[in-house]
Chains A and B, each alone.
Chain A
Amino acid sequence: MAAIDGVRRFGTLIARLLGLAGGLAAVGSAKAVDLPENRADLMFHGYDGGGVRATGPALLVRKSMLDRVSLSASYYADMVSNASIDVVTQASPYKETRNEYAVGADYAVRDALISLSASTSREPDYQADAVNLDVSQETFGGMTTVALGFTRARDKVGRKDIGFFDRASHWRYRVGVTQILTPRWLASINAEAVSDDGFLGSPYRAARVFGALVPERNPRTRSGRAVKLRTIGEIADRQSVRAEYRYYWDTWDIRSHTAEAGYARHFGEQWLADAYLRYYSQRRALFYSDNATAETLYVSRNRQLGTFSSVGLGAKLAYTWKRVPGQYEVRLQGALERSRFDFTDFTDIRTGSPYAYDANVVQVFVSATF
């Protein structure tokens, strides 16, 4: 209850800030903010880790109309082949497809950019619909950008054998400030409050109590906060480094740290390369247990809520195939990330030792900006 109250108060604060931002838009100078550039992306993505394979295409198209509005549409598909440890030890591997469609409009008003978007994600047993509103305002001679955002999502939760049986609702409030520090450095701070209500688990997953499998029992509310600090700077001609840190905490008692460090540089006129290292560590949810030794109101063996850490190494390479400055640019890009997940309190019941797995993420895509 106190958690929801907290989120509501945060929401009132955001509403007031939005009002201020609107006021800023009215007061601001004649300088105008740029609409996002027109672009078209076609991507093929793949994920392989822990027995789960998800691949598929993704498409994004964005075009500005009359120099006032930028419209965008995107499509994303996941063909999932699930043979994860949960599935393999409790049921049998399965395949399914998830489709996600999103449309958005970005409107530039003097120094502010207002973005409105809606998305829907469909799978045979889960449907999620979301609406987002983001306002971004440039102030202080364009050196500071204040961004506020709100997302409202509603899900329908189902199970393959009984159809849709329950719902889940989500609210997200975001605030972010990006500040130019010097002609070569900028920093940003982002904060987000996430609140969920409804069926928040998986109808297929089982928990273990006294060695026996029972259906998991999750609370019907969850409220989390995240704060992220980022900085990026140019250290030498056409080379940059960035560092970010995020701290997350929620009412399920999960605490997590995310740290990422990256380096990017141009090679000649046509190549752009990135490399990064990402570290993530999480402390378990209060009611999470690998094998509960007491009967509690809530119990879950969802390893996503356990204590684990992951280290990932990623690289990205972009090749500018064709560039006409001021007109268009076509780039071919590839990204690869390899990470290792190590669980402290989730045992692999096939071997008896703590579970660990490697995951690979691959992306290949073509981007055109025009």
Chain B
Amino acid sequence: MKRALSIVRNAAAVLLAFAALAGCARLQPWVKPYERERLADPVMKLQRDGLSDKHFEHVREVREGSRGATGVQGGGCGCN
């Protein structure tokens, strides 16, 4: 199992590097700036209200043992 996982990981790393370098020159941005209307809608925002998200993240960081990668800017206070 461990060996299979490590093979998958190495393969993924190689694939990523290959994809990045191989199609480099030919790849053009496929979503043009004038096609971004739907993405500008508030429902498509990952973080809409910073203050509200900050409070939720603070509550979670105090109650749970995990930290980080929340996408909310500004670290929590880590208070007891």
Direct contact of A and B (CB under 8 A): yes
Residues of A within 8 A of B (CB): 41, 43, 45, 47, 49, 58, 60, 74, 76, 98, 100, 102, 104, 115, 117, 119, 121, 123, 126, 128, 130, 132, 134, 140-143, 149, 151, 153, 155, 157, 168, 170, 172, 174, 176, 178, 180-184, 186, 188, 190-194, 196, 201-202, 204, 224-228, 230, 232-234, 238-240, 242, 246, 248, 254, 256, 258, 264-266, 272, 280, 282, 285, 304-305, 310, 316, 333, 335, 337, 341, 359, 361, 363, 365, 367
Given contacts A43-B55, A239-B43, A337-B56, 12 further A-B contacts (CB under 8 A): A60-B50, A76-B55, A128-B78, A151-B75, A181-B31, A182-B31, A196-B78, A227-B69, A230-B71, A256-B66, A361-B59, A365-B52
Distance in angstroms from A5 CB to nearest chain B CB is 19
Least distance between A80 CB and chain B CB atoms (Å): 10
Show 27 residue pairs from A and B whose CB-CB distance is below 8 angstroms, ordered by the A residue.
A41-B49, A60-B51, A117-B73, A117-B74, A130-B77, A132-B73, A134-B73, A141-B28, A141-B29, A141-B31, A151-B74, A168-B78, A172-B75, A183-B35, A190-B71, A192-B67, A192-B68, A225-B68, A226-B66, A227-B69, A228-B69, A234-B38, A246-B69, A246-B70, A248-B67, A304-B62, A359-B63
Chain B residues lying within 8 Å of A359, measured Cβ to Cβ, are 59, 63
Give the size of the chain B interface in residues (CB under 8 angstroms). Answer: 42
**Which positions 23-48 of chain B face chain A at CB distance < 8 Å?**
28-33, 35-39, 41-44, 46
Interface majority SS (helix, strand, loop, mixed), chain A: strand
Nearest Cβ on chain A to B44's Cβ, whole angstroms: 6
Cα–Cα distance between A334 and B28 once the two chains are bound (Å): 42
Q: In the complex, A49 Cα to B67 Cα: how many Å?
A: 20
Decide: A128 and B77 in contact? CB cutoff 8 A.
Answer: yes
Query: What's the Cα separation between A190 and B68 when bound, in Å?
Result: 9
**B21 proximal to A (CB < 8 A):** no
Q: Is the CB of B66 within 8 A of A282?
A: yes
- Contact (A266, B35) CB under 8 Å given A155-B78, A361-B59, A363-B52: no
Which chain A residue shows the least CB distance to B29? A141
Nearest chain A CB to B20's CB is how many angstroms away? 11
Chain B hits for A266, CB < 8 A: 41, 43
